[in-house]
Amino acid sequence: MRRNLVLGLGLLLLGWACGDCFWEVRGHVLECGTMSIVSSVRIDVAVVGVIPAFTDEKGDFEVGTTDSCNDTEALIFTKEGFETIRLEFKGRQNGPVQVCMTRIFSQ
């Protein structure tokens, strides 16, 4: 019993020492100017092997990787009819971020 407790505490300390903090961004996507919700926006992380995320019907999204919370990663927001946006974020954000996408009008 005591051995299991010591082993468990050791693993907990090892996880803490290794920086068990992962990169994560969550937020909301709106249309610039109108502040209308933009749903079904594709969000790619500029890291090989990360599956893209999409905004939900409320324009909300959450993206994370196993990279350290101190790393900087780029998110690429794309949706047909809107300009593509590339934004960089360092680590976990203190709260949700707001992303504004510009609609492309054909002439």
Task: Quote the domain boundaries for residue 51.
Answer: 21-101
Q: Look up the pTM and report it.
A: 0.75
Over the stretch 70-98, which tens digit does the pLDDT of each residue have? Answer: 788 899 999 999 999 999 988 777 789 99
107 within domain boundaries? no
Tokens matching residue 30: 């709106």
Q: Please count the structural domains in the chain.
A: 1
Phi-psi region of 40 (alpha: psi -120 to 50; beta: other; left: phi over 0): left
Q: Is residue 97 a part of any domain in this protein?
A: yes
pLDDT at 20: 63
Instruction: Tell me if 10 is assigned to some domain.
Output: no
For residue 51, the domain's CATH number is 2.60.40.1120
pLDDT score of 61: 96
Which residues of the chain fall below pLDDT 50?
Answer: 2-17
Query: Has residue 7 been placed in a domain?
Result: no
